[in-house]
């Protein structure tokens, strides 16, 4: 019974549509001749043809129209040339233009790069592309004030390599923004006042960075960065530093590419060298034939397995295969197990031997300030570096969000700067007391360090029975010391820049 009523309803609807169309058809008129006039207020006459039941290709989504800012408009408010049905070619030739009402926005769009002629139809965005939901001009929505939504809207087109390539626009602009501080702050950590696309490139009058009138042109960049709510007082060097699109800057600058390559090689080389030393040291300790206290070998084996798991996790993460997260967790579990075994292992009685103070109180305080500042910098800096990981984002939020983390990071940076200055002044004071002799500077590399490096290498490789006898500070300690001492100014200056 329900099926019969449904079919009857469809038949009645179709007949009504045919009758409405018949009333609009000209009687005895020739093709192209203007038909009956359509009253401006008569929306139902238009919807009789422009409905999904009649023609889905030209249908108007009435519900979407009612939800739009244009809900109170009549059809002819936008389609002023359509005055009768059927429509003549002259009526159809004139398209609805948003600029008729939105004159300022229309003028701005007319001088933007988005108004350039298409090489392939649909290449450039129109009003409907940005404001029309699903490309429907009748489903226009109010402009979003959420900067994240604006970034996603711009990214939809600018990450299309083929389209961007036709106009010489680098599609890497999307990626370079997302990995920038502004991109991470806005998209990952929800800092709503962080700059999006429109804050630098504007909205309707988007111009090429090579255009002298563009806000991103080098002559205007400082003013753009220094606008209210951003970086008041910003200068040219700050504005042109490439903080937002560093990858694009690097493509244009061979110096930046060489600098990045140098630090990548330096970082990876240093890590590989350190890991090789640790691996060789663990090999000797695990496979030693000398008697060791009970439990010591178990601790050593667990530490060695933890190290191997850590190396495997790093390799997986860099090469993009396997499950580096779970391998890293396994490394932490093994290290924790080694610590527990060490705690429960009976310790031999301590021998009564003379003890010597390596560091005085002044130096111990410097070390405390150093590791406290470094740990705070790492804790507040790593989540920003690896912002794509959800647990890093959750950790940042637990700290109080990005503003609190930035405050802690800068406070720790000031502590590190003060510690470096403190240590440098202390070095000169000690050097003065020693009569300005190089021999008194025990951390400087010497020929003995080269001999020790060669001797420990032979011992690790099983070519020597005993390790070398080191001085007060051996070459590995000096390496660590200078890695921090010369690395701190680099970190500070790069952070300030």
* Burial group, residue 409, by CB count within 10 angstroms (0-12, 13-18, 19+): middle
- C-alpha angle with apex 57: 55 to 62, nearest 5 degrees? 75
Rg of the chain over all Cα atoms, to the nearest angstrom = 36
C-beta of residue 187 within 8 angstroms of C-beta of residue 404 = no
Distance CA 332, CA 315 (A): 16
Going by the DSSP 8-state scheme, the letter that residue 470 receives in this structure is P
- Cα 148 to Cα 153, 182, 337, 452, 481, distances in angstroms: 9, 11, 44, 57, 44
Cα-Cα-Cα-Cα dihedral sign, residues 51, 52, 55, 58? positive
Per-position DSSP letters for 418-451, written without gaps between them: HHHHHHHHHHHHHHHHTTS-GGG-TTS--HHHHH
Q: Where are the beta strands (DSSP E) in 365-408?
A: none
Distance CA 96, CA 80 (A): 8
Q: What is the pLDDT of residue 30?
A: 41
Distance CA 465, CA 458 (A): 9
C-beta of residue 284 within 8 angstroms of C-beta of residue 292 = no
How many H-runs (helices) and E-runs (strands) does the chain carry? 23, 2
- Name the average pLDDT for the chain: 83
C-beta of residue 345 within 8 angstroms of C-beta of residue 293 = yes
Distance CA 342, CA 365 (A): 29
Per-position DSSP letters for 66-131, written without gaps between them: HHSTTTT--HHHH-TT--EESPPHHHHHSPP-GGGT-HHHHHHHHTSGGGSPPSSTT-S--HHHHH
Distance CA 483, CA 494 (A): 16
C-beta of residue 477 within 8 angstroms of C-beta of residue 359 = no
C-beta of residue 354 within 8 angstroms of C-beta of residue 336 = no
The partner residues of 355 in beta bridges, in order of sequence, read: none
Q: What is the pLDDT of residue 242?
A: 66
Distance CA 241, CA 253 (A): 12
For 174-214, the pLDDT digits (tens) are: 999 998 889 988 988 888 889 999 999 999 999 999 999 99
C-beta of residue 173 within 8 angstroms of C-beta of residue 81 = no
Q: What is the pLDDT of residue 424?
A: 94
C-beta of residue 201 within 8 angstroms of C-beta of residue 173 = no
Alpha helices in 287-295 (DSSP H): none
Tokens of 315: 């390799």
C-beta of residue 124 within 8 angstroms of C-beta of residue 158 = no
Locus of tokens 């470096």:
420
Q: What is the pLDDT of residue 8?
A: 44
pLDDT tens for the 497 residues of the chain, in order: 444 444 445 444 444 444 444 434 443 334 444 555 666 556 777 877 887 777 667 778 878 888 888 888 888 888 888 888 788 888 888 888 888 889 999 999 999 999 999 999 889 998 888 888 777 788 888 878 889 999 999 999 999 999 999 998 988 899 999 988 899 889 888 888 899 999 999 999 999 999 999 999 989 999 999 998 888 888 888 887 766 788 888 888 888 888 888 888 988 888 888 889 889 888 888 887 777 776 788 888 999 999 999 999 988 888 888 888 899 999 999 999 999 998 988 877 777 788 888 889 999 999 999 999 999 999 998 888 888 778 888 888 888 888 888 899 999 999 999 999 999 999 999 999 888 888 888 888 999 999 999 999 999 888 888 899 998 889 999 988 988 888 888 878 777 76
Q: What is the pLDDT of residue 98?
A: 86
Q: What is the pLDDT of residue 412?
A: 94
306: Cα separation from own chain's centroid: 31
- Cα 300 to Cα 292, 306, 307, 339, 348, distances in angstroms: 11, 10, 11, 10, 17
Going by the DSSP 8-state scheme, the letter that residue 133 receives in this structure is G
Distance CA 44, CA 228 (A): 49
Distance CA 240, CA 249 (A): 9
Q: Region of 401 please: left (phi>0), alpha (psi -120 to 50) or beta.
A: left
Q: What is the pLDDT of residue 42?
A: 67
C-beta of residue 307 within 8 angstroms of C-beta of residue 278 = yes
Residue 429 C-beta-side C-alpha neighbours within 13 Å: 8
C-beta of residue 14 within 8 angstroms of C-beta of residue 50 = no
Q: What is the pLDDT of residue 12?
A: 42
Q: What is the pLDDT of residue 267?
A: 85
C-beta of residue 147 within 8 angstroms of C-beta of residue 192 = yes
**Which is nearest to 35 in space by CA: 80, 78, 83?**
83
Locus of tokens 């038909």:
35
Tokens of 362: 């002044």
């Amino acid at each position: 019974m329900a099926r019969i009523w449904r079919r009857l309803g469809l038949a009645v609807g179709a007949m009504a549509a045919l009758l409405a169309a018949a009333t609009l058809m000209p009687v005895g008129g020739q093709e192209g001749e203007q038909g009956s006039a359509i009253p401006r207020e008569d929306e139902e006459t238009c919807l009789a043809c422009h409905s999904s039941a009649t023609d889905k290709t030209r249908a108007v989504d009435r519900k979407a129209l009612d939800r739009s800012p244009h809900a109170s408009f009549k059809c002819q408010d936008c389609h002023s040339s359509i005055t009768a049905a059927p429509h003549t070619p002259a009526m159809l030739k004139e398209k609805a233009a948003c600029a008729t009402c939105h004159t300022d926005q229309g003028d701005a769009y007319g001088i933007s790069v988005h108004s350039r002629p298409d090489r392939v139809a649909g290449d450039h965005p129109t009003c409907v592309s940005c404001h029309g939901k699903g490309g429907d001009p009748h489903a226009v929505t109010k402009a979003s004030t959420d900067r994240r939504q604006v970034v996603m809207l711009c990214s939809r087109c600018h990450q299309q390599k083929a389209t961007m390539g036709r106009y010489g626009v680098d599609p890497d602009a999307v990626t370079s923004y997302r990995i920038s501080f502004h991109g991470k702050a806005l998209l990952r950590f929800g800092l709503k006042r962080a700059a999006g696309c429109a804050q630098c490139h504007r909205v309707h009058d988007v111009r090429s960075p090579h255009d002298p009138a563009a806000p991103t042109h080098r002559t205007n960049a400082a003013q753009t960065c220094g606008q209210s709510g951003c970086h008041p007082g910003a200068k040219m060097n700050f504005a042109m530093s490439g903080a937002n699109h560093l990858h694009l800057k690097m493509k244009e600058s061979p110096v930046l590419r060489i600098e990045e390559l140098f630090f990548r090689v330096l970082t990876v080389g240093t890590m590989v060298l350190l890991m090789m030393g640790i691996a060789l040291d663990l090999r000797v300790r695990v496979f030693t034939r000398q008697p060791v206290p009970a439990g010591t070998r178990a601790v050593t084996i667990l530490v060695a397995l933890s190290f191997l798991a850590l190396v495997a996790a790093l390799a997986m993460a860099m090469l993009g295969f396997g499950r580096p997260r779970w391998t890293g967790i396994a490394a932490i579990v093994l290290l924790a197990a080694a610590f527990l075994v060490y705690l429960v292992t009976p310790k031999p009685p301590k021998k009564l031997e003379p003890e010597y103070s390596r560091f005085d109180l002044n130096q111990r305080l410097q070390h405390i300030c150093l590791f406290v500042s470094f740990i705070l910098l790492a804790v507040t800096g790593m989540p920003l570096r690896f912002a794509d990981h959800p647990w890093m984002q959750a950790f940042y939020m637990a700290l109080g969000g990005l503003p609190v983390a930035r405050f802690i990071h800068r406070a720790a940076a000031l502590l590190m700067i003060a510690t470096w200055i403190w240590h440098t002044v202390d070095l000169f004071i000690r050097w003065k007391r020693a009569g300005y002799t190089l021999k008194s500077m025990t951390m400087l590399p010497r020929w003995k360090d080269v001999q020790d490096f060669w001797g420990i290498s032979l011992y690790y490789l099983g070519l020597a029975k005993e390790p070398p006898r080191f001085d007060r500070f051996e070459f590995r300690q000096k390496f660590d010391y200078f890695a921090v001492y010369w690395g701190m100014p680099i970190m500070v200056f790069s952070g300030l820049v």
